[in-house]
Amino acid sequence: MDSKDLRIFHTVAIEKNITRAAEVLGYVQSNVTARIRQLEKEVSTPLFYRSKKGMILTQAGENLFGYSEKILHLLDEALKSVQYTENPSGPLTIGALETTAAVHMPKLLRNYLQKYPEVKLSLVTGHTGDLVQKVLDYEIDGAFVSGKVDHPDMEQVLVFEEELVLISENTDEKLKEILKKPMLLLSVGCSMRNRLEQWLEEEDMETNNIMEFGTLEAILGGASAGLGVSMLPKSAVKGREEQGLIRVYTIPEAYRNYQVYFVFRKDFFQTRAFERFLEHITCD
């Protein structure tokens, strides 16, 4: 069984579509179709159901998919090991929460890349659950997430300790009054959103009036314009507060402390670029 055929099979299984898989792999569609048929001939059993919904794995395909993930990961790790050099270089993909990416990443990544300019660093943003899953699936090398991650395959390092605050437009209203306003939040899965909803539930207040935003900047702009209120790290709102664009409210201690951990797989092959990055974030 050829490793290239296995990678094609794995990509088709994920994309559930020959055309999309061909685009991801950089192959022509007919080549992907032919390689899948050749692989099915080699194992003497269908690996996919062809339907209007796309390419759906058969039971045999499901079995092979589990092995393909392990095999392709080992091949990628083997390649990393032979390319290992003393001088940090090559790709490094890091995940981060939206707020962490906006507040802490610019300076941290700039200093790292000034020391190691040959590293090709990529930053992916998302919520804690999504980022943890990407790390577990070997899609990214590590991630900055909210709170400790309870998983036997993960290593974690405490990197930042934050104070969460409630923000609104610059107003004289009391905390109880502004809690009745619309909530400006990131999408479902955001840890700060979960905390705010828990707090409001404890206060016996409704959370029906929610406005979802895709970025931190949009939330800050909405709050300063009087659209509603939000819960964010104090470090993320400091500039707007100093400019007089928003008002910051202290929240109950039970919801105030917020910790950001850097997580990565225990079995992840650490390149020199990753080792230096880990040293960089723990020293800074």
Amino acid identity for residue 196 in this structure? L
- Out of 82, 117, 140, a domain closes at 82
Reported for 97-100, long-range contacts at CB under 8 A and 24+ positions apart, including other chains, are: 97/125, 97/126, 97/127, 97/128, 97/131, 97/144, 97/145, 97/146, 97/191, 97/260, 98/125, 98/126, 98/186, 98/190, 98/215, 98/216, 99/192, 99/216, 99/232, 99/233, 99/236, 100/144, 100/160, 100/260
Regarding whether 276 and 243 lie in a shared domain, the answer is: no
Residues 175-198 have a mean pLDDT of: 80
Q: Which residue has the higher pLDDT, 189 or 65?
A: 65
- Residue 217 burial (C-beta neighbours within 10 Å; 0-12, 13-18, 19+): exposed
- Out of 55, 82, 109, a domain closes at 82
Regarding whether 104 and 77 lie in a shared domain, the answer is: no
Regarding whether 193 and 182 lie in a shared domain, the answer is: yes
Residue 135 has pLDDT above 90, yes or no: yes
Regarding whether 211 and 240 lie in a shared domain, the answer is: yes
Regarding whether 137 and 172 lie in a shared domain, the answer is: no
pLDDT digits (tens, 9 = 90+) for 52-95: 888 999 999 999 998 888 888 788 777 766 655 667 888 899 99
pLDDT digits (tens, 9 = 90+) for 238-276: 889 999 999 999 988 888 888 999 999 998 878 888 999
Regarding whether 174 and 96 lie in a shared domain, the answer is: no
Domain that holds residue 276: 90-161+259-283
Residue 278 has pLDDT above 90, yes or no: yes
pTM: 0.69
Regarding whether 143 and 60 lie in a shared domain, the answer is: no
Residue 190 has pLDDT above 80, yes or no: no
Residue 188 has pLDDT above 70, yes or no: no
- Out of 40, 62, 82, a domain closes at 82
Domain count, the chain: 3
What's the CATH code of the domain at 229?
3.40.190.10
Regarding whether 264 and 154 lie in a shared domain, the answer is: yes
C-beta of residue 156 within 8 angstroms of C-beta of residue 149:
yes
Give the pLDDT confidence score for residue 198 in this predicted structure: 83
Regarding whether 168 and 251 lie in a shared domain, the answer is: yes
> What band does 216 get if pLDDT is binned at 50, 70 and 90?
confident
Q: Which residue has the higher pLDDT, 144 or 89?
A: 144
Q: Which residue has the higher pLDDT, 261 or 203?
A: 261
